[in-house]
Amino acid sequence: MTDADTDLERLERARLQALVDGDLEVARTLHADDYELVTPGGQALTKTGYLEGIATGRLRYRRFEPVGPVRARMHGETAVVRYRVHIDIDWEGGHDDGEFWHTDYWELRDEGWQAVWSQATRIPQPGRD
């Protein structure tokens, strides 16, 4: 593992913890202004919509934690980070708790490394509807 891989893993873990803690100062720094998240349900959220949901409590992570290695593939000033994650989240009108594959695309910008795109895909669990 390179120093850059270690830095990206540290930043990714800090990003997840900021979302769980509702630490918007850290979250704003680690998400690019043009950030987009595609949820397991297929909804696309902008940085503004996503972080506003965290700020207002409409989205509340109880847990957002890697359950395996955080792997990074780097190419110049871009990187893709992938890992299995346990997510326990409440949102207006719903709740989810399970394991997902999470993929993030990062870019090195003037502000430092920032997440630009994220996508989560549910990992089916035996016996779960």
pTM of structure: 0.91
How many other CB atoms are found less than 10 A from the CB of residue 32? 17
Q: What pLDDT, on a 0 to 100 scale, did the predictor assign at position 2? A: 63
45 sits in which H/E element: strand 44-46
What mean pLDDT do residues 106-112 have? 95
Please give the share of the chain, as a percent, with pLDDT higher than 90: 85
How long a stretch of residues is the chain?
Answer: 129
Domains of the chain: 3-122 (3.10.450.50)
In the chain, what is the straight-line distance between the N-terminal and C-terminal CA atoms, in Å? 38
Residues linked to residue 114 through DSSP beta bridges, in sequence order:
107
Res. 38 pLDDT band, cuts 50 70 90: very high
Q: What pLDDT, on a 0 to 100 scale, did the predictor assign at position 92? A: 87
Q: Could you give the CA distance from residue 32 to residue 85 in angstroms, rounded to a whole number?
A: 22
Q: Could you give the CA distance from residue 33 to residue 18 in angstroms, rounded to a whole number?
A: 17
Q: What pLDDT, on a 0 to 100 scale, did the predictor assign at position 4? A: 62
Q: What pLDDT, on a 0 to 100 scale, did the predictor assign at position 66? A: 97
Q: What are phi and psi of 33, to 5 degrees?
A: -60, -30
Q: What pLDDT, on a 0 to 100 scale, did the predictor assign at position 125? A: 82
Does the structure show a pLDDT above 60 at 129?
no
What mean pLDDT do residues 10-21 have? 97
